[in-house]
Structure 1
Amino acid sequence: MRYKWVVLSNTTIGTLLAFMNNTIVIISLPAIFNGIRINPLSPSAFQYLLWVLMGYSLVTASLLVTLGRLSDMYGRVRLYNLGFLIFTIGSVLLYLTPNTGYLGALEIIIFRLVQAVGGAFLMVNSAALLTDAFPPNERGFALGTNQVAGLAGSLVGLIIGGVLATYDWRYVFLVSVPFGVFGTVWSYLRLREIRRPIREEIDWLGNLTFVVGLTLILLALTYGLAPYGSSPLGWDSPLVLVSFALGFAFLALFPLIETRVKAPMFRLELFRIRMFTAATIATTLRFLAYGSLMIMLTLWLQAIWLPLHGVPYTEAPLWAGIYLIPLMLGFLLTGPVSGWLSDRYGPRLLATLGMVIMGIGFLVLASMPYNFQYWVFAPVIFMIGVGNGMFSSPNTASIMNSVPPQHRGAANGMRTTLQNTAQAISFALAFTIVILAFTNYLPQALANALSSAGATALIPYITRIPPTVALFAAFLGYDPIRTMLSMIPQNIINDTPQQAINTITKLTWFPNAIAPAFMDSLHILFYISSALAFTAAIASALRGQIYIYEEEPQYASK
């Protein structure tokens, strides 16, 4: 009886560690790039920045289904323990990054990919271990508590990352090591296999087809955001087009292979289970809607709202995290409660209502002005967090309860793969919409604002600077205008009236200049996210009330 709490506490440490690591890196990017002596706003550095942001998700999404199946075959505890060890080794390597410059950036990316392999082992096995250890009437609570730990880790990461980055960028990686060492030792000493692993051959062809196909698609999503030629985006580059074509071709072969091999990597017949299919579709739609919200709200706060309220760009990353606490708080308050309620009354109403609340929250965000009142903004993002919390643990419990015990690893791998892929698509869609809006409208908006300020000599230079520079300058805590001015010949600066320079370098000038273009794109994104959330609510409502695989057929919903 006590063992289930050992599993919950250990998997909670793993989940907290993984989420804390992600937000620590995001909040500390300016310190990391300064520490390895790279200007993160130079064109050649942009791809390194993309890989630091997206490389971790790319690796985890590509490996989750394969690792889930291997965990079913060789033991979930064994591979979960290995995940803790690999993650800790990756954290130590990141702290020890030996070089600087672009070689140092490449080392950081590679060591983050090592971390991602360990994170994938932890991610794919946590829910399966909890489902094995807890009885059906307690799984929602256990999964909800585990997921709340992830959000708590995100919050802790924002605060710790903001503090540690002021001392030494290496500390943001070192802080994960004690957690990793403790989790590794404890998992090896206390966790044990409850269910006997299944003995089957490895589906090498299915694994290879799925991993290669998904990796190519995720690579295309990543490089689609990088400039190509004279275009601010790379969606029409040969690399992206070929990667998409080959990726979809490999994934089209995957179901054909899986229906013909003796021991498939993923049993497609699981999609015949109504609860599993509806809940999986709902979680994919939810991540499509929600996946880019945090980074878009961060951009909104750092590039526009905080400077308008007197917060310097150097302090904006930390304050953005603080002002987004209501979003996480809504999830923290409702996650375990919704899991507990779903154990007793079923997941359908809670999960469906959660997506409806999230959809309404996105609609309200789409109606807000760029210089909002925080007392209006905070309850709206809190409401979105509440909807997210109401949905998450009941939906995860639905998926894990509905599949045979011997396939829980693969099923959880499919769930996490789809949600990570959906998050990557959401991220790519959001930045595409914003960058296109900046490309189309920002040059003219800046030209008009510069002309009004009396800085007409700067127009040909500032309007030629790529929109990604302006976008990521604020995100990384740099003053965008001062960054742009540093790229202009000094004689042009000297010929510009000092009063005009003083005007455009005021903290409020740049936010007011870019706000219309940024908010137009953000409103489009919020409307799309709202539609996706409402569609997720429909999928959630179609799942049925309760279905638990181990129980007798009369407990299944009709």
Structure 2
Amino acid sequence: MTTKETDRIPGASETGQHRGRRWIGADHPGYKWVALTNTTVGMLIATINSSIVLISLPGIFTGIRLDPLEPANVSYLLWMLMGYMLVTAVLVVALGRLGDMMGRVRIYNAGFLIFTITSVILSLDPFHGGSGALWLIGWRIVQAIGGSMLMANSAAILTDAFPARQRGMALGVNMVAGIAGSFLGLVLGGVLVTWNWRSIFWVNVPIGLIGTVWAYKSLHETGIRRPGRMDWWGNITFAIGLTALLAGITYGIQPYGGHTMGWTNPWVLAGLIGGAVMLAVFCLVEARVAEPMFPLRLFRDAAFAGGNAATLLGAIARGGLQFMLIIWLQGIWLPLHGYDYADTPLWAGIYMLPLTIGFLLAGPLSGALSDKFGARLFAACGFLVMAVSFAGLLVLPSDFSYWVFAALIFLNGLGGGLFAAPNTAIIMSSVPADARG
């Protein structure tokens, strides 16, 4: 009996009988491809949204008539940058657990709906100045809840739908779509914000509507669902601890007391120390409750622990690179080459295309090959290729030759694509079926 068959909840195959309401039953051979295409769209839209705002910030603040660099307005800038990602980081584990309990498809579908509705609301911001910024920050936080529902459950839905021999390929397509989405968002943001800043939210609406209807009509629960009680203390301590820690880091980059950075700010120190203490309390809670939000015993598995550590390191490297390349291109290289500052978001996105192309080429191929030849070799080689590209970027002068720069970021994209799918397959295959969310 295949992994796919044993992972289904009792009666899952009977969903195929509702063909008047659904497109393809869960027992249909083509269902796995339906699951792959829909979850890939979900991952793509969630991750595009996180970076499309990053590169569009100058246009957004111009549109709402707010100078984000004035001391009184810096907090608006910081929360516009970090709010979506912070909420995603805080909620993704809890929403994955909720998917394990209530059904991954149910939570995933709700995420698509929330994400689409909030995209419409964001584009209708009726205010200017601080009120306009608060509207965007508040609804971006709500949108992050929907994005978290998508990201927390898409890989679990795929793992349930695909047999073990094809999981690397499926997760490769899904994860590379997610990672590439963060770079496609840079290109889309650069193009759209020069036309109308509201269009960076409009672009989500048609995709979200199609994806929402498609998800509700085509996806079925095929995995083990383990009903249980919500671990409230675990959720509370995790949310408070991670929010305090990430908020402390966010405000740590803001000038304070004559220093260029804010690491001596008492509130920053309280956030960092208090957040770390609260996360330690979270670990104690999880070790003692009968039904934890996150079973810490999973870290006893070397593949799970190592794969997640590698994911964290890769995300730090990729996020730092993305942030610095935007500053480098928009603030230094493009103006040096005669580009008007108003046009730099568009051209920064265009000039970063080799990075996205590298991801798109390597990811699905790496996932398919890792199914045949083993995931660890490809994951390790991907990190090595990324390291080589970082070494090359370190020695580039400020006014670099574009073709050398393009080759290096293409190499970085290849490395990221080689790494993402096999590493995700290692993680997802190392956990019990009822803990995949």
> Which TM-score applies when normalising by structure 2?
0.91
| Aligned mates of 1:21, 1:288 — CA distance in 2 | 19
1:373-394, Cα deviation, whole Å (9 max, x unpaired): 1121111111111111110000
Which amino acid in structure 1 is aligned with residue 136 of structure 2?
I
1:184-203 counterparts in 2 under 5 A?
A: 184-203=212-231
Partner of 1:171: 199
SS of match in other structure, 1:77: helix
1:498-546, Cα deviation, whole Å (9 max, x unpaired): xxxxxxxxxxxxxxxxxxxxxxxxxxxxxxxxxxxxxxxxxxxxxxxxx
Deviation at 1:154, TM superposition (A): 3.9
Deviation at 1:162, TM superposition (A): 2.9
1:41 and 2:73 are equivalent in the alignment: no
Which amino acid in structure 2 is aligned with residue 14 of structure 1?
G
Partner of 1:221: 249
SS of match in other structure, 2:67: coil
Match of 1:53 among 57, 64, 81: 81
| Aligned mates of 2:99, 2:92 — CA distance in 1 | 10
Deviation at 1:155, TM superposition (A): 4.7
| Aligned mates of 1:403, 1:351 — CA distance in 2 | 18
Partner of 2:12: none
Partner of 1:263: 291
Match of 2:416 among 388, 391, 399: 388
Which amino acid in structure 1 is aligned with residue 418 of structure 2?
M
Deviation at 1:151, TM superposition (A): 4.5
Partner of 1:205: 233
Partner of 2:138: 110
Match of 2:152 among 115, 124, 127: 124
Assess, with a 3 A threshold, how the Cα gap between structure 1 residues 142 and 305 changes in structure 2: closer, same or farther. Answer: same
Equivalent residues of 2:184, 2:356 under 8 A apart: no
Deviation at 1:347, TM superposition (A): 0.9
Which amino acid in structure 2 is aligned with residue 377 of structure 1?
F
1:101 and 2:129 are equivalent in the alignment: yes
Equivalent residues of 2:362, 2:417 under 8 A apart: yes
Partner of 2:282: 254
1:375-427, Cα deviation, whole Å (9 max, x unpaired): 21111111111111110000001000110000001xxxxxxxxxxxxxxxxxx
1:28-83, Cα deviation, whole Å (9 max, x unpaired): 22221111111232222221111111110100001111111111011100000110
| Aligned mates of 2:192, 2:359 — CA distance in 1 | 26
Partner of 1:278: 306
Equivalent residues of 2:189, 2:345 under 8 A apart: no
1:49-448 counterparts in 2 under 5 A?
A: 49-409=77-437
| Aligned mates of 1:273, 1:74 — CA distance in 2 | 26
Deviation at 1:186, TM superposition (A): 1.1
Deviation at 1:149, TM superposition (A): 2.3
1:12 and 2:40 are equivalent in the alignment: yes
Equivalent residues of 2:308, 2:427 under 8 A apart: yes
Which amino acid in structure 1 is aligned with residue 206 of structure 2?
P
Match of 1:23 among 51, 73, 94: 51
Deviation at 1:163, TM superposition (A): 3.2
1:176-206, Cα deviation, whole Å (9 max, x unpaired): 1111111111111111101241022221111
Assess, with a 3 A threshold, how the Cα gap between structure 1 residues 204 and 151 changes in structure 2: closer, same or farther. Answer: closer
Equivalent residues of 2:359, 2:414 under 8 A apart: yes
> Which TM-score applies when normalising by structure 1?
0.71
Partner of 1:534: none
| Aligned mates of 2:397, 2:186 — CA distance in 1 | 26
Any unmatched runs of 5+ in structure 1?
410-558
Equivalent residues of 1:338, 1:394 under 8 A apart: yes
Which amino acid in structure 1 is aligned with residue 41 of structure 2?
I
SS of match in other structure, 2:220: coil
1:469-499, Cα deviation, whole Å (9 max, x unpaired): xxxxxxxxxxxxxxxxxxxxxxxxxxxxxxx
| Aligned mates of 1:277, 1:363 — CA distance in 2 | 27
SS of match in other structure, 1:333: helix
Deviation at 1:214, TM superposition (A): 0.8
Partner of 2:4: none
SS of match in other structure, 1:228: coil
SS of match in other structure, 2:396: coil
Deviation at 1:94, TM superposition (A): 0.4
Any unmatched runs of 5+ in structure 2?
1-28
Deviation at 1:262, TM superposition (A): 1.1
Query: What's the Cα RMSD here?
Result: 1.4
Equivalent residues of 1:88, 1:177 under 8 A apart: yes
| Aligned mates of 1:397, 1:141 — CA distance in 2 | 9
Equivalent residues of 1:206, 1:254 under 8 A apart: yes
Equivalent residues of 2:354, 2:406 under 8 A apart: yes
Aligned residue-pair number: 409
The percentage of aligned residue pairs carrying the same residue is 56
1:260-279, Cα deviation, whole Å (9 max, x unpaired): 11111111111111211111
| Aligned mates of 2:425, 2:320 — CA distance in 1 | 24
Which amino acid in structure 2 is aligned with residue 171 of structure 1?
S
Equivalent residues of 2:125, 2:136 under 8 A apart: yes
Deviation at 1:224, TM superposition (A): 1.0
1:275-331, Cα deviation, whole Å (9 max, x unpaired): 111111111122222221011012111222112211121111211111111111111
Equivalent residues of 2:115, 2:208 under 8 A apart: yes
Equivalent residues of 1:151, 1:332 under 8 A apart: no
Assess, with a 3 A threshold, how the Cα gap between structure 1 residues 158 and 253 changes in structure 2: closer, same or farther. Answer: closer
Equivalent residues of 2:50, 2:85 under 8 A apart: no
